[in-house]
Structures are given as structure tokens and as C-alpha cells.
Amino acid sequence: MNFTDSLTTDTLTEERKGMTYYDEHSKVLVSVDCIIFGFDEGKLRVLIGRRQLNPGRGLWSLYGGFVRNNESIDDAANRVLFELTGLNNLYMRQVWAFGNVDRDPGERVISIVYYALINTNDYDEELRKQHEVEWINIDELPQMYSDHNEMVAKARRMMQENISREPISFRLLPELFTLTQLQRLYEAVCGEEVDKRNFRKRIKEMDFIEKTELIDKTGSKRGAYLYRFNKKVYNEEPNFKL
């Protein structure tokens, strides 16, 4: 990728020895690590488990996997997500590449972090138990393996930005939801309370948040109207502003 061949010494030597431009020696393991966000009982949660392999066996950890030669990094993230959840087409965004030399105690690994959003109801409890992962409140995460806490922090920051740009809340909620649920989610993501009336005012301006005639009585005696995200309306005029 340099323009000239005035490379620094060690690479230069290799080049002179007749090695190809693509130097085998600089190859490195690349993994993807996934922060899977869910929303349950009013809390933003992250799916984590205990490492079953060394190094770090038993430590809390994000779920991840190595990038294979025949797949893009996005594909790798999707594969890992599918392995864990059995779900495809999850909302997923790249967060950051972590590349300190000693970040993994076993070998040098560069890790590309993604975050994904799932509706916890869509995630099969059996599968969750099989993988021995748990939904942990993001504000009560334990110390995790390597730099995984830092990864979650970065992912959360990114998600906070994205929630005001794209309608991503609906990925974390069931198809039908109440405005209070939506507000609690927003508050959990942003980490601060918002005013109910102001929040609802803004929601009313977004035509793609559709009121149904259905009423949810699980959250209150009186019952609350259920709303739904209308993707078609959103695509036609995405007047999104949160």
C-alpha cells in the first residue's frame, strides 16, 4: 500500500529477498465481537456469557468469532450473530476496530466490534441456555475479558447517537408497543429521563409511528394504546426527529 518501495528496514529486507508485496509475515488473526442489545423490564441489556476456552476460561465475555478468508467482516458478524441467536437480518452496525498488540492474552488478535439489536422475545430461551449466555443490565456489567467493557461502552455511545438518527427502537421492541415502553427504551439508551408530554409531542409528529385500536392492559389497569412502526410510511417520508 505504500507508493514507493522506500519502506522501513525490516520490510525492505524481505522485499529484497524477493518476497511478494503481500508479506505473509504481517498476517494477523481478526475476530468480530458482537454486542447484542436487548430491552427487557425497562432496562437495556447486553447478551454475554462465560468463555469456555482458554485463555480466559470462565471470564465474562462478549460473543465473537474469527473472520474467515472467504467472508467479509460484515458476513462474519452476521454468521456469529446467527450462530448465537438463530436470527438473520438483525440490525447491525460496525462500531470500532480494537487493535492493541496485547489486547488478547493468547495471541495477537485485531477485533472488529459490531453491535446488534434484537427483540428479546424473538430470542429462543432454549437457545440462550444452550449457549449459556445471559441478558445483563448494561449498567451492571461485570468486569469482562480483555477490552470487552470498553467495547460495550463504545457501542453504547454509538447507539445513543444512532437512536436520534434512525428509527432503531423498533428493533428492540415487539411489533406492538405502548408509548410508555418506547419512552422507557429511549431513556434506558440515553441514560436520562425525559418529559412524558414532550416525548409524546415528538412522537405524534412522526407519521410512521402508527396508533392502532388495540389496547395493552398488562402495564396498567386503564390500558394503553398500542402503536406500531410503519416501515412503508417511513420509507416514503422518513421525517425522523428524536
Residues 6+ apart with CB under 8 A from 170: 177, 229
Q: What angle is formed at CA 143 by the lines to CA 48 and CA 73, rounded to 5 degrees?
A: 50
Spatial separation of the C-alpha atoms in residues 233 and 207, rounded to whole Å? 7
Binder among 9, 70, 89, 235 for its own copies (CB under 8 A): 70
19 binds, among its own copies, DNA, none (CB under 5 to 8 A by kind): none
Q: For its own copies, give the closer residue by CB, 133 or 179.
A: 133
In the structure grid, which three cell numbers stand for residue 126, read together? 432454549
Q: Of DNA, its own copies, none, which one does residue 232 interact with (CB within 5 to 8 Å by kind)?
A: none
216 — phi, psi (to 5°)? Answer: -100, 125
* Cis bond upstream, residue 174 (ω within 30): no
Smallest distance from DNA to CB 211, Å? 8
100 is an interface residue for its own copies by CB under 8 A: yes
Closer to its own copies by CB, 59 or 203: give it. 59
In the bound state with DNA, the residue whose beta carbon lies nearer, of 60 and 170, is: 170
User: Which listed range, 58-66, 168-176, 180-188, 206-214, lies at the site for its own copies (CB under 8 A)?
Assistant: 58-66
Binding partner at 218 among its own copies, DNA, none, C-beta below 5 to 8 Å by kind: none
Q: Helix/strand/coil (H, E, C) string of 74-104?
A: HHHHHHHHHHHHCCCCCEEEEEEEECCCCCC
Closest to 229 in 3D by CA, of 220, 242, 217, 219: 242
CB of 128 to its own copies, least distance (A): 12
Identify the helix (H) or strand (E) that includes residue 16: helix 9-16
- Site for its own copies contains 2 (CB under 8 A): yes
Binders of its own copies in range 3-42 (CB under 8 A): 3-5, 7-8, 10-11, 21-23, 25-31, 33
Could you tell me how many residues of this chain bind its own copies (CB under 8 A)?
Answer: 60
Q: Report d(CA 36, CA 45) in Å as an integer.
A: 8
Q: Which residues bind DNA (CB under 7 A)?
A: 178-180, 195-198, 200-201, 217, 219-225
Choose the contact partner of 231 out of DNA, its own copies, none; CB within 5 to 8 A by kind: none
Q: Is residue 125 part of the contact set for its own copies (CB under 8 A)? A: no
Residue 206: closest CA among 184, 234, 183: 234
44 contributes a contact to its own copies by CB under 8 A: no
> Residue 101 binds what, of its own copies, DNA, none (CB under 5 to 8 Å, by partner type)?
its own copies
